[in-house]
Structure 1
Amino acid sequence: MAEVTVGVLALQGDVREHVAALVAAGASAHPVRRPEELERVDGLVIPGGESTTISKLAEAYDLLEPIRKRIGGGMPVYGSCAGMIMLATEVLDGRPDQQSFGGIEMTVRRNAFGRQVDSFEAPVPIAAIPGGPVHGVFIRAPWVERVADGVEVLGRVAAGPAAGRIVAVRQGNAVATAFHPELTGDRRMHRYFVELVRRA
């Protein structure tokens, strides 16, 4: 099996947790803070955190355009929570000056499920992942309001007041979830992404 190197954008968020999950899923994983580090990876994870902060820091560290270029060139990318917002082509309830990397033609609503106190956990059946629903941890999470024709809906919240909301999508080599799989012991989402990187 070919060795793949996956970077984790290390500007803010659950960087260590994603690195550990990727290693457990069979990849070599490294934090990415500089353009030259981005050049050395086969795929990139954009972790949770605060999307406006990630946007500002990506500009400050000269990573905004290089990441956009790599995604546009087909590099596999996976965004969780704030990472999902960073991959959206349209963001609702964002700051007017907020920038995104793009990559998935979708409209995402920031903090759609509410504030920190409204965080919750729920099962999310993911069509592409066998073995039963993935355990979704939602922390100030977004949801997807609309997707373009080329976007595959991978999962929706299965139960509770948010039942039916789109929380996992894929377009080509770009994958995003509204939840945090790195905060659970379930590595299936990371294995799915590592396999995508390997095939690319």
Structure 2
Amino acid sequence: MGILALQGAVREHALALADLGVETLEVRTPAQLDRVDGLVLPGGESTAMSRLLKIFAMVEPLREAVAAGLPMYGSCAGMILLASEVLDTRADAVNFGAIDITVRRNAFGRQIDSFETALPCVGMPDGPFPAVFIRAPWVERCGPDVEVLAAVEIEGVLRPVAVRQGTAVATSFHPEMGHDRRFHQLFLEIVGAAR
């Protein structure tokens, strides 16, 4: 399993996957990307990741991996990278269109507005998921093939915060920050089914 290791919560995702018995490879080059059967795009700072993706010549290899159906999981900034459209970002920011969604960066507010909540999730047994939101995006539009796995009500409007389309899954929150591994397990099941 690969973890895009240019910036962000790389270590935390590696520890989460290690808890499930999975070895990980830090991916920084196209050659490393070719060696993985699934890729985690971690939380971090999406505009910094965009710049680093260009510096490390990873934009086109990742576009090709998305087109080839490589399973991908993005948390927070990773959701932004997997989206087809991103609001409130720089004009030169990178996103890959793996999931047909429009996301709004930092939709929940600044760092001081970070929060945790018990989040009911579609098809996830064992009760609500302990979700940690840190300067998180939310989804403003979902395409017809996108499955909403979880949503948060904000001022009377349900905002999707966990979505799946095909072999790609994304969360606006950070499962890697806690001890609940159900979203990582879901991603491992997606990778296994894609093999």
TM-score of the superposed pair, with normalisation by structure 2: 0.96
Partner residue of 1:104? 99
In structure 2, distance between residues paired with 1:53 and 1:140: 14
Deviation at 1:162, TM superposition (A): 8.0
The residue type paired with residue 164 of structure 1 is L
State whether residues 43 and 75 of structure 1, in contact with CA within 8 Å, keep that contact through their aligned partners in structure 2: yes
CA distance 1:122–1:163, shift in 2 (3 Å): farther
Shift of 1:112: 0.1
What is the match of residue 131 of structure 1?
Answer: 126
Q: Distance in 2 between matches of 1:102 and 1:53?
A: 18
Task: Give the match for residue 164 of structure 1.
Answer: 158
Q: Which SS does the other structure have where 1:49 is aligned?
A: coil
Q: Take 2:139 and 2:22, find their aligned partners in 1: how far apart are those partners?
A: 28
Name structure 1 gaps, 5 residues minimum.
1-5
Structure 2 match to 1:23: 18
Aligned to 2:177: 183
Aligned counterparts of 1:150 and 1:68: Cα–Cα separation in 2: 19
Aligned-partner Cα distance in 1 for 2:158–2:118: 11
CA-CA distance at 1:28 after TM superposition: 2.0
1:198 aligns with 2:189: no
Structure 2, unaligned runs of 5 or more: none
Q: Deviations over 1:126-160 (max 9, x none)?
A: 112111111110000000000000101011126x7
CA distance in 1, matches of 2:143, 2:174: 24
1:53 aligns with 2:48: yes
CA drift of 1:163 comes to 7.0
Query: Paired residue for 1:83?
Result: 78
Match of 2:109 in 1: 114
Give me the whole-angstrom Cα distance separating, in 2, the residues matched to 1:39 and 1:114.
36
Paired with 1:102 and 1:140, the residues of 2 have a C-alpha distance of 21
What corresponds to 2:4 in structure 1? 9
- The question of whether the paired residues in 2 share the 8 Å contact of 1:26 and 1:194 is answered with no
Matched position secondary structure for 1:150: coil
Cα displacement (A) at 1:68? 1.2
How many pairs does the alignment contain? 194
- Cα distance between partner residues in 1 of 2:126 and 2:15: 22
Q: Which amino acid is the alignment partner of residue 87 of structure 2?
A: L
8 A Cα contact 1:47 1:81, kept in partner = yes
Of 50, 65, 74, 1:70 maps to 65
What code does the residue aligned with 1:194 have? L
1:108 and 1:92 map into 2 onto residues whose CA distance is: 6
| Other-structure match for 2:148 | 153
> Aligned partner of 1:180: which letter?
H
